[in-house]
Structure 1
Amino acid sequence: MKYVIGIDIGTSAVKSVLVSAEGKVVCEHSESYPLHRPEPGWSEQNPEDWADRTIASLRRLMEKSEADPADVEGLSFSGQMHGLVLVDSKGKVLRPAILWNDTRTTQQCRKIEKTLGSKLLDIARNRALEGFTLPKILWVQEHEPEILSQADLFLLPKDYVRYRLTGSLGMDYSDAAGTLLLDVANKVWSSEIAEAFDLPLSLCPQLVESSELTGTLLPEVAEAAGLLPSTRVFAGGADNACGAIGAGILGEGKTMCSIGTSGVVLSYESRKDINPQGKMHFFNHGEENAFYVMGVTLAAGHSLSWFKDTFAKEASFDHLLEGIEAVPAGSGGLLFTPYISGERTPHADADIRGSFIGMDSGHTLKHFARSVMEGITFSLRESIDIIRQSGKDITEVTAIGGGALNEVWLQMQADIFNANIIKLESEQGPAMGAAMLAAYGCEWFSSLAECAKVFIRPAKTYSPDPEQAEVYSGLFGIYQDVYGQTKDLNERLAAYRK
């Protein structure tokens, strides 16, 4: 028996999965670590926590599975994107990592836009958003110049963990694309962007492919993890890129919808000359010389969690959603917009807030719960439509995440997207994508697409109901009007938020 390991460095925990050559998840184990918020809007973690918990997760994985370490041929990573890790010439971390969900960098984003103008979208292919890495570097440059002066390199979360495990420094293209320092189409660090902000290009690490061999485990790490020092370690990729690989999004027309805390619509793209002009993200894929376009709903599953915790705290999710299929499409004229944390696609607006519109005395808790699910799915439909407008024919969408666990929601996605929704037999998300990168790197398969044929198995297809799809098409038009008609109201209400 031979195995690979996929490691996903998340925001709250690291997850390790042991996968056989047949694509079966033999064992998995997670280890959590703390998140620190020293100031309002700040979000930081200690990079050493990632490394220590990863090693602990690997040890428990090997102990639980009782697999022979000699049978583990390789491992790779998926990681939370954008987080800034600054290290000195000896690889020592200089300050806590500033994470993707840290919002302190609004002024730096405006500075980037003013300085670069249209060049930002031409080169980096993405707008300047608080979550990205370059604004974080500029914040350190302004507020902690003594720290930046000591920095030899900046890394992203999974790259620091890989360094701690192997001693090898580098960054793959899919993660580098989320920094705003990469020339995405040409796959090189942009000297033009770096020079515009007086940053030495040497601050940027060596670029590698996601499936590239980056070394083997350091002897002391191997011993602590219960693995052999000869275990091969491959670069890995950004969590969304690995999620795409793990869902089989490895060819033209392939699209996925992931509903977790946030929601993501992601579609494979082979053309490097695509420029969504900031309406959607455009990143390098984990597959070599491929790309993907991606839209994000900031509060997808979070909207449903918020609703349950606020209005049905004692109920389980199963109880809250029980019988919801009996509520007709449109929730009796009740419409929800999931802007409770602002919005990303197609409206990059941190100030917009959510709405329930059309409430009357006949509405029950079930109507509200269904309208929340519909509103989340309408928001994701906006990303689907932008991709379709670029010329892609989306007739099939692979569903992953929490939104793939409820049959009513899967059918709702089919009806609102007007596309077949594919539910997978075993959905491990980014960790599976990381394992597939290791399997491909170990030369088990001639391509990631060939690997996907073995590792990924569809379980069920949900097809759109023509009558329901027509109802939702009309409701979607109303939904799209809400943002413009509530934007001014929300700006005026902002002064009253405490």
Structure 2
Amino acid sequence: MYLGMDIGTSGVKAVLVNEAGAVIATAARELALSHPAPLWSEQDPDAWVDAAIGAVDDLAAAHPRETAAVCGIGLSGQMHGATLLDAAGRPLRPAILWNDGRSHAECAELERHCPALHAIAGNLAMPGFTAPKLLWVARHEPETFRKLAKVLLPKAYVRYRLTGEIVEDMSDAAGTLWLDVGRRRWSEELLQATGLDISHMPRLVEGSQASAMLSPELAQRWGMTQSVVVAGGAGDCAASAIGLGAIAPGDAFLSLGTSGVLFRVTDRFAPAAASAVHAFCHALPGRWHQMGVMLAAAASLAWLSDVMATPAPALLAPLGDVADRPSPVKFLPYLDGERTPHNDAAASGTFVGLRSASGRNEMVQAVLEGVAFAARDNLNALGSASSNITEVDFVGGGSRSALWAQICADVLGIPVHRVEEGEVGAALGAARLGRLAATGEEPLDVCTRPRRLSTFMPRPSAVAAYDDAYHQWRKLYPALKECT
């Protein structure tokens, strides 16, 4: 048996996976976000640990025999979060998360002072990344910075608390702006640019390698009867790719979770910083990937649900499974700024085209379409960076909606496949990495493709209508940018 844990933004998921590769049980614990100032987004690192342990407690209570048989654990996690530890290994402050936008000035500083950044790290300096956050801390919280002993990403902190070892995998490390992504090692030059050195960094391993052993205390707590290896694991997007069997060059998927990601596997380091495309290490040796990233994908629908005090399923139900035509209302889903293609932490969400006749349905549809249009921006950005994407698997919370899947197919103009286990992809991928670390099997034998549940083909008439709507939508960001 194998255990996967995904340390997300809104919650922690844990899954048990058997020898046949099937998910036999899941558990989840929710997490709270804090926004103490505009553009800020923080979490308590110990809340991740409590949620992770609690989720496995739930699995062990409901499935004691299966949990006892676990021999490998994998971790997946939200990327980029700056978790600052003192010399005793305790957090110095709340973690600064991936969707935090406070460090835009520090990004400009990093770009100016480190001309080799794009070539080494493969990415633009964006507020979501870890390195600019440390420049912000050094400037605004100097006493905290002086006490700093280690900088960990979220899942690395959870691993530390589960095992006592300070280790990170290549895929998550690639999202810090401190990794030499092509050479898969920390860059002394990039660390020095933020006042750090390699002593502040965790040890690096590949995602499928063993990183540590689960502490005997936790193994006993969960009734595990053998030594349990903990794999290097992966950042959430790379873990989702492992769960989807996206390990061959050209494999692609679209994830609409809290954030949105268009992901493509490559067999080489292929930076495209000018397009605000991310180029990261994959979770397997000798593999990399490119990503276009939207900061508020399913989060946009969740926001509207909160504003309208109506659960998301109730918002979607009146719209059915197919949109006859694009909504007359348009929505920019930049509630937390945007990465690809704008790299603008100050970008804001907006509705355009509201009339007295506009109702809830038009606004809900506009949110779904706005996210799909943003995904098309990502498709265009990745297309300019490498070969075209011709189809995608569709995962994340947004994949529950047939309507959203069809809108994405019509907007992107390519087939969209809804797949089995689409909502536990990262946790499943983590479990698969735990298995690889425990058994040494070949990735191709473990990282199989999920069964496709349904395929949404682009409809020619809808593609034409959405093509016109997209080009109108594209005019909104630059026009509104002039006003803010």
Per the normalisation by structure 2, the TM-score is 0.93
Selected match of 1:171 from 168, 173, 178: 168
The equivalences for 1:226-305 within 5 A come to 226-228=223-225, 230-305=227-302
Residues 1:440 and 2:436 aligned together: yes
Question: Residues 316 and 194 from structure 1, CA distance in 2 versus in 1: closer, same or farther, beyond 3 angstroms?
Answer: closer
Question: Residues 356 and 156 from structure 1, CA distance in 2 versus in 1: closer, same or farther, beyond 3 angstroms?
Answer: closer
The equivalences for 1:78-477 within 5 A come to 78-117=76-115, 119-228=116-225, 230-310=227-307, 312-314=308-310, 317-324=313-320, 327-331=323-327, 333-427=328-422, 428-443=424-439, 445-447=441-443, 449-453=444-448, 456-477=450-471
Question: Residues 324 and 224 from structure 1, CA distance in 2 versus in 1: closer, same or farther, beyond 3 angstroms?
Answer: same
Greater mean deviation of Cα atoms: 253-262 or 40-49: 40-49
Greater mean deviation of Cα atoms: 63-72 or 460-469: 63-72
**Deviations 1:322-371 (Å, cap 9, x if unpaired)?**
2445752222x433322333322211223333343344455443233222
Question: Residues 315 and 33 from structure 1, CA distance in 2 versus in 1: closer, same or farther, beyond 3 angstroms?
Answer: closer
**Deviations 1:62-119 (Å, cap 9, x if unpaired)?**
12113245521211100111122233444343333222233332332222122113x2
Structure 1 residue 34: Cα displacement: 4.1
Question: Residues 479 and 51 from structure 1, CA distance in 2 versus in 1: closer, same or farther, beyond 3 angstroms?
Answer: same
Structure 1 residue 483: Cα displacement: 1.7
Aligned 8 A contact 1:330 1:472 in 2: yes
Question: Secondary structure of 1:56's match?
Answer: helix
Aligned 8 A contact 1:285 1:291 in 2: yes
Letter of the 2:326 counterpart: G
Question: Residues 122 and 59 from structure 1, CA distance in 2 versus in 1: closer, same or farther, beyond 3 angstroms?
Answer: same
Aligned 8 A contact 2:252 2:264 in 1: yes
**How many residues are aligned here?**
483
**Deviations 1:393-412 (Å, cap 9, x if unpaired)?**
32210001122111122111
Question: Residues 484 and 430 from structure 1, CA distance in 2 versus in 1: closer, same or farther, beyond 3 angstroms?
Answer: same
Selected match of 1:487 from 454, 478, 481: 481
Greater mean deviation of Cα atoms: 338-347 or 359-368: 359-368
Structure 1 residue 267: Cα displacement: 1.2
Aligned 8 A contact 2:72 2:231 in 1: yes
Equivalent in the alignment of 1:71: 69
Question: Secondary structure of 1:292's match?
Answer: strand
5+ residue gaps, structure 1, are 492-498
Structure 1 residue 387: Cα displacement: 1.6
Letter of the 1:483 counterpart: Y
**Deviations 1:238-276 (Å, cap 9, x if unpaired)?**
111112222222122211111122221111122214334
Measure the CA separation in 1 of the matches of 2:41 and 2:194: 24
Aligned 8 A contact 2:251 2:264 in 1: yes
Question: Secondary structure of 1:356's match?
Answer: strand
Aligned 8 A contact 1:6 1:432 in 2: yes
Greater mean deviation of Cα atoms: 360-369 or 262-271: 360-369
Aligned 8 A contact 2:275 2:340 in 1: no
RMSD of aligned Cα (Å): 2.3
Question: Residues 138 and 20 from structure 1, CA distance in 2 versus in 1: closer, same or farther, beyond 3 angstroms?
Answer: same
**Deviations 1:136-167 (Å, cap 9, x if unpaired)?**
22223233444333433221111121122222
Aligned 8 A contact 1:324 1:366 in 2: no
Greater mean deviation of Cα atoms: 423-432 or 79-88: 79-88
Equivalent in the alignment of 1:496: none
Question: Secondary structure of 1:67's match?
Answer: helix
Measure the CA separation in 1 of the matches of 2:354 and 2:34: 39
Question: Secondary structure of 2:122's match?
Answer: coil
Measure the CA separation in 2 of the matches of 1:309 and 1:160: 31
Measure the CA separation in 2 of the matches of 1:305 and 1:50: 21
Measure the CA separation in 2 of the matches of 1:464 and 1:435: 34
Measure the CA separation in 2 of the matches of 1:244 and 1:307: 29
5+ residue gaps, structure 2, are none
Structure 1 residue 33: Cα displacement: 4.2
Measure the CA separation in 1 of the matches of 2:480 and 2:34: 34
Higher-Rg structure is 1
Structure 1 residue 36: Cα displacement: 4.0
Structure 1 residue 478: Cα displacement: 1.8
Equivalent in the alignment of 2:43: 45
Measure the CA separation in 2 of the matches of 1:326 and 1:19: 35
Structure 1 residue 385: Cα displacement: 1.5
Aligned 8 A contact 1:59 1:226 in 2: no
Measure the CA separation in 2 of the matches of 1:93 and 1:358: 46
Measure the CA separation in 2 of the matches of 1:20 and 1:141: 46
Aligned 8 A contact 2:69 2:225 in 1: no
Structure 1 residue 444: Cα displacement: 6.8
Question: Residues 303 and 58 from structure 1, CA distance in 2 versus in 1: closer, same or farther, beyond 3 angstroms?
Answer: closer
Measure the CA separation in 2 of the matches of 1:251 and 1:160: 30
Structure 1 residue 432: Cα displacement: 0.8
Q: Sequence identity, in percent?
A: 38
Question: Residues 92 and 297 from structure 1, CA distance in 2 versus in 1: closer, same or farther, beyond 3 angstroms?
Answer: closer
